[in-house]
Amino acid sequence: MAAAGRLDLDGNPIRPMTICMIGAGGFIGSHLCEKLMAETPHTVLAVDVYSDKIKHLLDPPTAAEGQQARHSWDGRIQFHRLNIKHDSRLEGLIKMSDLELVSFIRRKFFLRTCSTVVVLPSLTRNLDVTINLAAICTPADYNTRPLDTIYSNFIDALPVVRYCSENNKRLIHFSTCEVYGKTIGSFLPKDHPLRKEPDFYVLTEDASPCIFGPIEKQRWSYACAKQLIERLIYGEGAENGLEFTIVRPFNWIGPRMDFIPGIDGPSEGVPRVLACFSNNLLRREPLKLVDGGQSQRTFVYIKDAIEAVLLMIENPERANGHIFNVGNPNNEVTVKQLAEIMTQVYSKVSGEPPLEVATIDVSSKEFYGEGYDDSDKRIPDMTIINKQLGWNPKTSLWDLLDSTLTYQHRTYAEAIKRATAKPVAS
């Protein structure tokens, strides 16, 4: 339900907003769009090259969903299929003013449906915020497609920052926890006591250094591009008054993340770890542990993380000018432990016994190719997001894997069976 009478954290009424969301068709974008449609009165101009993950929000309701001809959010989300690399429509969308928005909507909708008359009033507003999620953000690309990675994460984001700055539009930009790189502790001997000191591993927005490997370790092309765009946005804030918020996600996971190779993505593609391990479990193959799976990660449930983003959207005074870690420090595991837990959870949700040999070790060179390197450990300091927005993650690793693997099994098990079925000899 799109609630009326919503209040911000200071008790002020939140007026309906218009949001230009770039990269809205991806994993995070799809969950954010869903949340905005279901629980707020805000309008989304959704920009992406793909729309499959938000199709359910864009398409008319099916007969099974009821007799009414419209979703409760009808008209509050519009999809713009465009590639921000080379499309002059981007600037228009970011700087859209009341009048432009009204005439745009008239052009787009009056021709198609007369029911638009009813939704027009909710759309006749100034654009309130641009959210940029668009990026190449799968580690398998960082060392194998470093140019595309740098262009996508730095060069392609430049016009978005410039249009926001020049037109006095607020920007929420998605960066990454990877800008921290390696922990200080990782340079100490393995059993050094200082490795246990939080100062040597907890990652803090305004205090931790960014530590990347050498240039030939092209893994860091992504982190470096993200760091430079952060610095540019920060500079635009300091010199030109850009109102910005930077988000550093720490391994957000959940349904619709990436793709399952050979089913809804290329068979040779390598997605992030959740989808890699899901694919192995669905196909009853051992999970591959890169360099023994000793790296540590903290995983946060996408639905918890989206709550944090909504707080940023609706509390500009508290969010502007800040960089926020968004993660769950309580959900830390090694990648090997993640593989073990996913194996147990998947066995429970699928009803299939785990494989006798559930994991195998592979070298990073074999798995990712030359130039791979890794972040050793990622514990987010939560002080700033706690103080500014009062946000805390809620979902345990077991619970978030339970709901995510239930979704993976329901969505993909049959398709995998069909894809792997041997043709019957005639």
* Site residues (vs ligand UDP, CB under 6 A): 139, 178, 251, 272-273, 276, 288-290, 293, 295, 297, 335, 374-375
Please state the φ and ψ torsions of residue 306, each to the nearest 5 degrees: -65, -35
Nearest-approach distance from CB 175 to ligand UDP, in angstroms: 13
Confirm if 392 and 318 have CB atoms less than 8 A apart.
Answer: no
**Residue 112 identity:** R
Q: Which residues contact 115 (CB under 8 A, 6 or more apart)?
A: 69, 70, 74, 75
Contact range with ligand NAD by CB under 6 A, out of 55-63, 131-139, 230-238, 360-368: 131-139
Q: Which is nearer to ligand UDP, 139 or 380 (CB)?
A: 139
Please state the φ and ψ torsions of residue 108, each to the nearest 5 degrees: -75, -40
Nearest-approach distance from CB 176 to ligand NAD, in angstroms: 4
Please state the φ and ψ torsions of residue 298, each to the nearest 5 degrees: -110, 130
**Of the candidates 205, 183, 196, which has an alpha carbon nearest to the alpha carbon of residue 381?**
205
- DSSP 3-state percent helix, strand, coil across the chain (nearest 5): 45, 15, 40
> Of ligand UDP, ligand NAD, none, which one sits near residue 297, judging by CB under 5 to 8 A according to partner kind?
ligand UDP
Which alpha helices (DSSP H) does 167-296 contain, by range? 221-240, 273-282
Nearest-approach distance from CB 256 to ligand UDP, in angstroms: 15
Beta strands, E only, 181-320: 202-203, 244-249, 252-253, 287-290, 296-298, 300-301
Beta-bridge partner residues of 45: 20, 78
Q: Which is nearer to ligand NAD, 157 or 405 (CB)?
A: 157
Task: Tell me if 25 contacts ligand NAD by CB under 6 A.
Answer: yes
Cα–chain center distance at 97 = 28
Task: Tell me if 180 contacts ligand NAD by CB under 6 A.
Answer: no
Q: Which is nearer to ligand NAD, 165 or 298 (CB)?
A: 298
Tell me, yes or no, if 201 is annotated catalytic: no
Q: Which is nearer to ligand UDP, 290 or 385 (CB)?
A: 290
Token pair for 79 = 């999809």
Q: Which is nearer to ligand UDP, 19 or 289 (CB)?
A: 289
Q: Which is nearer to ligand UDP, 41 or 139 (CB)?
A: 139
**Of the candidates 98, 96, 100, 51, which has an alpha carbon nearest to the alpha carbon of residue 78?**
51
> Of ligand UDP, ligand NAD, none, which one sits near residue 139, judging by CB under 5 to 8 A according to partner kind?
ligand UDP
Nearest-approach distance from CB 25 to ligand NAD, in angstroms: 4
Task: Tell me if 27 contacts ligand NAD by CB under 6 A.
Answer: yes
Q: Among 180, 222, 346, 372, which one carries the catalytic annotation?
A: 222
Task: Tell me if 83 contacts ligand NAD by CB under 6 A.
Answer: yes
Nearest-approach distance from CB 355 to ligand UDP, in angstroms: 15
> Of ligand NAD, ligand UDP, none, which one sits near residue 149, judging by CB under 5 to 8 A according to partner kind?
none
Confirm if 223 and 210 have CB atoms less than 8 A apart.
Answer: yes
Token pair for 33 = 């769009």
Binding mask 30-69 for ligand NAD (x = CB under 6 A): ------------------xxx-------------------
Catalytic residues: 222
